Structure 1
């Protein structure tokens, strides 16, 4: 056990240092959470292989591993996945919407702890009376302990049976959700002390490209002018799209003048080629893959 404990302690120290490096390199939560997940998957696999290489000699060693070492690694992986999930649904159109979203997510986390209050109290208060069933892999009765029913985590039945106990995942989730709660509270505080507007769209094409964009909108999706109730004129549509996309254009020009001086555009051709590349990428992702590359496939080459 001493060797396995040493490996676990060294791995946890490495994880702390590596996750800090990732955050410094990718300050945005969406990016550092995504970059951390593959690394943490590798760490979990390394921990599993170490457990196989150094089997437990006593039940107390098994309990320590599944109560303290594995949940510490697994918690980081759960936390990173949850940060990613929260970021992809987080509104960025206004500070008010982002604030309401974060507050709602914090309420959900509190609800999770409330629903699991008995186990969470066991975790928080560092109790050990049920360790011999919570953190041991082979038990006589996983559904009851000393004539009392206990909760069963379905995650136990997924993955290698020798790398999970009844509740090690739940204890990892407690730790992960505590970190997630702290993270969301910091993000909420940051919103409350800043007045930075959301990122603006920026049109990077030429003036001729922007002219063609206005013409495409005019044909396909011309908005209604709120002042008249009628479809926008080209000039009004031009002003509307200028405000939305922030193109780099000469000052003081109306739409007709810009059309005369901007020259030709290949925006439609660029868009068409971009769509073709995207469709090709999707086709490549969806094509079937033959896993039998190095085997003789019946019927092939006969």
Structure 2
């Protein structure tokens, strides 16, 4: 049963990679991920209901780790879809203000419902001494003054607190997404470990060349074993190299259809390194 749960989390990573490469726009990507995660969560519910847990440790791990990863990303992608499909424009001051309002609403929700809660401090500190109370079925205690949402919880597939962990995960993902939407490149200067500034480090090749590199790093698993998404890698490199890439998914799809060599920059890199090696012989 443990392998089934871990396979479910791995399938999310694989699906994110697959859809990220296929989708030309975040709306399509978020919609497809929402459908996938909704089905995955339903399958997990059927599996848990039929097979049950082999012991308490497995039950706690499922409601503290496995389910929140699925539900948290489901909440996140559904919210991204709603935000993107409601966006009135694709640039300019109104665009900035729209995402700024979304970010402020997220911050307000965080302060009101998450930040000041004892459970949030418990979860963030990594404590496990009350996991029996928080992440086991049948232990919901309404005497503690829980949110009214508790009356809508499926007590056969939720401990209530697994939902709270899911919200924490979703809010963190949304925060990073909105920060990038508002200001994808203008970040504080990144300094190396020896204190040298990267202020004068900038990209001198074409934008398509950098996009080729970003996708190559992602699909090869060269960064974080492939678990870091295209957007995050893109955001870091845009900051580092002081360049705006725009909609990289759309650009990548155009590159897939171009005539001739589709990986021109990567092939040039290989050739340049081999030429350099030959000079040292």
1:29 positional shift: 1.4
More displaced 10-residue stretch of structure 1: 117-126 or 23-32? 117-126
Relative contact order, CA 8 A, sep 6+: which one is greater? 2
1:131 positional shift: 2.1
Deviations 1:215-240 (A, max 9, x none): xxxxxxxxxxxxxxxxxxxxxxxxxx
Deviations 1:83-116 (A, max 9, x none): 0111122231641111112122112212222112
More displaced 10-residue stretch of structure 1: 161-170 or 52-61? 52-61
> 2: distance between equivalents of 1:179 and 1:152?
23
Unaligned 5+ residue runs, structure 1? 197-302
**Match for residue 128 of structure 2?**
128
> 2: distance between equivalents of 1:77 and 1:67?
16
The question of 1:49 aligning with 2:46 is answered yes
Length-normalised TM-score, structure 2: 0.60
Deviations 1:171-211 (A, max 9, x none): 10110111111111122223867598xxxxxxxxxxxxxxx
**Match for residue 239 of structure 1?**
none
SS at match of 1:174: helix
Deviations 1:104-134 (A, max 9, x none): 2112212222112223322322222432222
**Match for residue 33 of structure 2?**
36
The match for 1:63 among 56, 60, 63 is 60
Length-normalised TM-score, structure 1: 0.56
> 1: distance between equivalents of 2:125 and 2:24?
34
Query: Larger Cα Rg: Structure 1 or Structure 2?
Result: 1
SS at match of 1:163: coil
**Match for residue 234 of structure 2?**
none
The question of 1:111 aligning with 2:105 is answered no
**Match for residue 247 of structure 1?**
none
**Match for residue 178 of structure 1?**
172
SS at match of 2:98: helix
- Is 1:152–1:166's contact at 8 Å kept on the other side of the alignment? no
